[in-house]
Structure 1
């Protein structure tokens, strides 16, 4: 079975975006971004919620377009409607059996893209296996929290930390069960 990996940029105060979903304070170039792009090549499936998918429209993505052409993308939403020729799959229910089957069928690790409330619901359900935090040396003050409004406690086992210039850290944790 392949793990679900939450690979996400986060501020020191725990936000994955600032007010109005602003991500401009995070790095958009440099070694930390190059390493992230290299990690993307190792995932076989991307999963995300509707808000993360629609966020791509701000950057020129069109409805139905796959933001990660090299991997299957599944958007979990009860309200998103896409064209019949959509390159992404819509899944209306967050069923634990579906995620277990996805982990079995995936050819490589599964990328949990974005996060917030969707990541929080997966954490609550015990479905996230690994958390990779690209910790940015910024304070956003408000915005979208790493796990949305959830306060589900979880034990993590530190696997590694990599330091980057400018104070960025890549930290990897295994979620204990």
Structure 2
């Protein structure tokens, strides 16, 4: 059984993007980004909601294209439209069942890349095993929160803490 790991950048005030999908305050190069890229190589499957997938369109992603070519990618949506011949799998129903199947069959850890509402739903269902937070020294004041608008709770045990020279902190948590 492989863990589902929510590996995401987050502002000091708890947002994974600012208003209008703004991610300009998060670093996109240097040690934080390099360490993230190295972690991506260890994941076998990527999970995301529709909004996170479509966010990639602003950066050149073509509908149906896999944003993580080294992984099987699943988009959980009841409304996403993609070409018949595409590189991703769209899951429109029985989400929890499909996620449990992926945990059981994946050859490596499962990467939950977002978004906030989808992550909140998975946390509420007890389907997230670990968090890796790249805590950025910035404030957005609004946008997409770490777990969306859902009321969620859980117990977290921090198992690692790393400091970067640019003020970022990497925190690793187990979800109990």
Residue 116 (str. 1) matches residue 116 (str. 2): yes
- What's the TM-score once normalised by structure 2's chain length? 0.98
* Counterpart for residue 98 of structure 2: 98
CA deviation profile, 1:116-169 (whole Å, cap 9, x unmatched):
100000000000000100000001100000000012110001110111011101
* Counterpart for residue 79 of structure 1: 79
User: Following the alignment from structure 1 to structure 2, what is the Cα–Cα distance between the partners of residues 103 and 114?
Assistant: 17
> 3-state DSSP class of the match of 2:159?
strand
User: Are 1:131 and 1:174, in contact at CA under 8 Å, matched by a contact in 2?
Assistant: yes
Q: Which runs of 4+ in 1 moved over 3 A?
A: none
User: Are 1:3 and 1:129, in contact at CA under 8 Å, matched by a contact in 2?
Assistant: yes
Pairwise CA distance, 1:97: 2.4
Alpha-carbon RMSD: 0.8
1:158 to 1:66, Cα distance in 2 relative to 1, 3 A: same
* Counterpart for residue 131 of structure 1: 131
Pairwise CA distance, 1:94: 4.6
User: Following the alignment from structure 2 to structure 1, what is the Cα–Cα distance between the partners of residues 49 and 97?
Assistant: 18
CA deviation profile, 1:78-117 (whole Å, cap 9, x unmatched):
0001001110000012532222211010010000012210
Gapped runs of 5+ residues in structure 2?
Answer: none
> 3-state DSSP class of the match of 2:118?
helix
1:156 to 1:150, Cα distance in 2 relative to 1, 3 A: same
User: Are 2:51 and 2:115, in contact at CA under 8 Å, matched by a contact in 1?
Assistant: no
User: Are 2:160 and 2:172, in contact at CA under 8 Å, matched by a contact in 1?
Assistant: yes
* Counterpart for residue 144 of structure 2: 144
Gapped runs of 5+ residues in structure 1?
Answer: none
> 3-state DSSP class of the match of 1:27?
coil
- What's the TM-score once normalised by structure 1's chain length? 0.97
User: Are 1:76 and 1:94, in contact at CA under 8 Å, matched by a contact in 2?
Assistant: no
User: Following the alignment from structure 2 to structure 1, what is the Cα–Cα distance between the partners of residues 55 and 96?
Assistant: 25
User: Following the alignment from structure 1 to structure 2, what is the Cα–Cα distance between the partners of residues 93 and 162?
Assistant: 38
Count residues in correspondence: 176
User: Following the alignment from structure 2 to structure 1, what is the Cα–Cα distance between the partners of residues 170 and 28?
Assistant: 15
User: Following the alignment from structure 2 to structure 1, what is the Cα–Cα distance between the partners of residues 166 and 87?
Assistant: 37
> 3-state DSSP class of the match of 1:73?
strand
